[in-house]
Amino acid sequence: MATPVVTESQGTVATVPGARRGASARLRQAASTPPGRLRVAGAALAALVVLFGAVAVEQVSTRATAAGRVVSGSEPLSQDAAEIYRSLADADTTAAAGFLLAADEPAAVRQRYEDDLATASRLLSEAAARTGSSPGAQRPITELNRQLPRYAGLVETARADNRQGLPLGGAYLRYASALMQDTMLPLAQSLVDAESGRLDADHGDASSFPVAALLLGLVALGALVRYQVVLFRRTNRVFNTGLLTATSAVLLAVVWLTAASASAGAALATSRRDGSQPLRELDHVRIAALQAHAAENLNLVARGSTDTYTKRWSALVDPLNAPAAQAGSFGHAVAAGRPDAERPAAEAERAFADWLSRHRAAADKDSAGDYDAALRGTLSSGGNDTADAAFTTMDRKLAEAATAEQHDFEAAAGGVDGFLEVYAAAAAVLTALAVGGVLRGIGRRLAEYR
């Protein structure tokens, strides 16, 4: 965008003798005569205007690119990373559910597990193939690609042992889950962190105000006005059309620059407030709930041999169940949502409450020695009054709310890169116009010396 302007201006400036030769002696010599001074002043003004134009175009283009990256690059990537995490956590939860249902495992549960692995695997290979991935993202991607088949193998061994009635199956499933919880999910988390970090950086790049361009614009404007006043005092001519044109063009470019940058910043801030930030909170809640559900299932797989999972359940659910004022709580994530996400989010919160009360009822059954009732209350094939059913409803509603937030994000941030690009093009044209004006204006005065 910036290149043609520079080329054009160089060509134009080169026609003004003396200005480009650079030797200070020549400059001083040239400046010692009135036409020489005019030439030097004209060259300086033109250079200032070109500099302003170049910086404005460059800075705004950079912001347009960053805004484009936010919408079509880093935001989807950070959502992909979150989805990798979610699929892996969901696979762990679903594997435990299928294990508990054993012979009664419905095809849908098996399918969900398969889909989770397929999604994680697809997103991981996409992420690995993407050359632009941040360096912080490559290591977890490679490592996850290595661990995923290992995890799947352990789960299959657990299933096979369980089908033969061997308690070893439960030990295998807990081993697989430990691999997921202690190794794979932390890797997925570092991927999420890398991608969110990049989103934040792009967001910052896109919405930062182009201060240098604005300052240069004001300096150019001041220089043009001041030189016209000087000329007026010297020649008593009120108007110099060329310089006036240049002044108006630069003024327009500066005002437009300010307006465009401010509105882009506002739109991006909105996209963050209404889109990516609530989305991040929803993702967090959804994933914490998933892991709590995995702990709930694994506690039944462990059959009272350890209290690891009841502890993990509490560690995950207590913060979710905290008052809405507390960040990280379910209520907080729901309250942060936008109107169109509000309804599914509120429904998710109700399902969350159902889930907790059903979990408590099942846990009471378990501690009363009725393992079967605890299992039936937690999950059963086709049962819709189980803790699992409430969890599934909650998860679906959270997904709906997330989709709504995603739309809000896209609506707010979507056009930003476009109108910044329009500005960059306009700034180039206005700069050309202003340079032309300066040269014409100075040329008119020079002609008077001939």
C-beta closer to another protein: residue 117 or 301 = 301
Report how far residue 92's alpha carbon sits from residue 88's, in angstroms, rounded to the nearest whole number.
6
Task: Indicate which single residue of 23, 25, 103, 238 sits in contact with another protein (rule: CB under 8 A).
Answer: 103
CB 157 to another protein: min, Å: 8
Task: Please report whether residue 105 would count as binding another protein according to CB under 8 A.
Answer: no
C-beta closer to another protein: residue 232 or 371 = 371
CB 296 to another protein: min, Å: 16
C-beta closer to another protein: residue 371 or 449 = 371
Residues 6+ apart with CB under 8 A from 301: 96, 99, 100, 170, 173, 174
Which range in 25-33, 168-176, 269-277, 405-413 contacts another protein by CB under 8 A?
168-176
User: Tokens representing 350?
Assistant: 């109700």
DSSP string, 238-296: ---HHHHHHHHHHHHHHHHHHHHHHHHHHHHHHIIIIIIHHHHHHHHHHHHHHHHHHHH
CB 283 to another protein: min, Å: 31
Report how far residue 169's alpha carbon sits from residue 378's, in angstroms, rounded to the nearest whole number.
20
C-beta closer to another protein: residue 241 or 305 = 305
Q: Which residue has the tokens 């089908």?
A: 163
Interhelix angle for 185-207 vs 34-69, to 10°?
A: 150
> Would you say 254 and 221 are in contact if contact means Cβ atoms under 8 Å apart?
yes
CB 366 to another protein: min, Å: 8
Interhelix angle for 168-179 vs 277-302, to 10°?
A: 160
Which residue, 295, 309, 308, 409, is CA-closest to 355? 295
Task: Please report whether residue 303 would count as binding another protein according to CB under 8 A.
Answer: yes
Task: Indicate which single residue of 165, 323, 339, 382 sits in contact with another protein (rule: CB under 8 A).
Answer: 165
Task: Please report whether residue 308 would count as binding another protein according to CB under 8 A.
Answer: yes
Task: Please report whether residue 162 would count as binding another protein according to CB under 8 A.
Answer: yes
Task: Please report whether residue 307 would count as binding another protein according to CB under 8 A.
Answer: yes
CB 356 to another protein: min, Å: 23
Task: Indicate which single residue of 149, 304, 383, 418 sits in contact with another protein (rule: CB under 8 A).
Answer: 304
Q: Which residue has the tokens 């207590």?
A: 318
Task: Please report whether residue 175 would count as binding another protein according to CB under 8 A.
Answer: yes
Task: Please report whether residue 382 would count as binding another protein according to CB under 8 A.
Answer: no
Q: Which residue has the tokens 């896109």?
A: 206
CB 97 to another protein: min, Å: 14
Four-point Cα dihedral 196, 199, 200, 201, nearest 10: 120
Task: Please report whether residue 146 would count as binding another protein according to CB under 8 A.
Answer: no
Q: Which residues of this chain interact with another protein, rule CB under 8 A?
A: 102-103, 157, 161-163, 165-172, 174-175, 302-308, 366-372
